[in-house]
Amino acid sequence: MRHDHAIANGFVNGNGQHTECRVKELGGGSPLEKCCQTMLQEIGEDPEREGLVQTPRRFDKALRELTVGYHQSVEQLVREAIFEEDCSEMVVVRGIEFYSMCEHHLLPFFGRAHVAYVPNGKIIGLSKIPRIVNMYARRLQVQERLTQQITNALQELLEPVGVACMVEGNHMCMMMRGVQSQSSSMVTNAVTGCFLHDAKSRDEFMRMIRS
């Protein structure tokens, strides 16, 4: 049965049973809540049944939380957490957990980011690197762009000798739909400066994140 026909003549409830119910005009609420109500109707559900009555409100709140990165900036996150320091050894923060949303299907992808930089007279507060990762992750993303944005942000902030970022991600759009590959993961990397031109720096980065 076509969804529009199902909607015109009733809904399929949570138990898979077809129930007669006329489609009502969308009520109040935010544009995101109304959008959610429409989606529920389009798949053949009844937005007014008990288990779904509050779903549009929850959807609105969840989506805004998952995309809060649009309302943040690197400058806000870092503030005064950049310090002058005579340090030239590689700094690595590994295993930064992140959750993001694939912009193609609006399904989650998640994983870990490993970030390194070689200082050039400036260092950044340790907690700021995970905050930068999560700021960019909390937007509609593709993993390739996420990796590059993290790298670019640190390069611009610190002007270091080099920056390296590796992101390992599991994508629900590939695990739940389409090819349905449950065990596949995606690895992306972006590098600047010494990591781009010096194999020893790249090798040291890989050893440090794998040790």
pLDDT in tens, 162-177: 999 999 999 999 888 8
Which residues is 114 bridged to in the sheet? Answer: 166
CATH of the domain at 180: 3.30.1130.10
| pTM score | 0.85
pLDDT beyond 70 at 10: no
Catalytic residues: 102-105, 143, 171, 173
Question: Mean pLDDT over residues 26-52, rounded?
Answer: 93
Query: For residue 27, what pLDDT is reported?
Result: 61
Residues 32 and 102 in one domain: no
Residues 131 and 37 in one domain: no
pLDDT-derived band of residue 111, with 50, 70 and 90 as boundaries? very high
The number of domains in the chain is 2
Two structure tokens written together for 88? 């030239």
Give residue 9's Cα distance to chain centre.
Answer: 38
Which residues fall within 8 angstroms of residue 159, CB to CB, at 6 or more apart?
Answer: 120, 122
Q: Give residue 84's identity as a one-letter amino acid code.
A: E
Residues 188 and 120 in one domain: yes
Question: Mean pLDDT over residues 144-151, rounded?
Answer: 99
Asked if residue 74 is part of any domain, the answer here is no
Alpha helices in the chain (DSSP H): 3-9, 31-42, 55-66, 74-78, 128-137, 143-158, 172-175, 194-197, 199-210
The parent domain of residue 92 ranges over 80-210
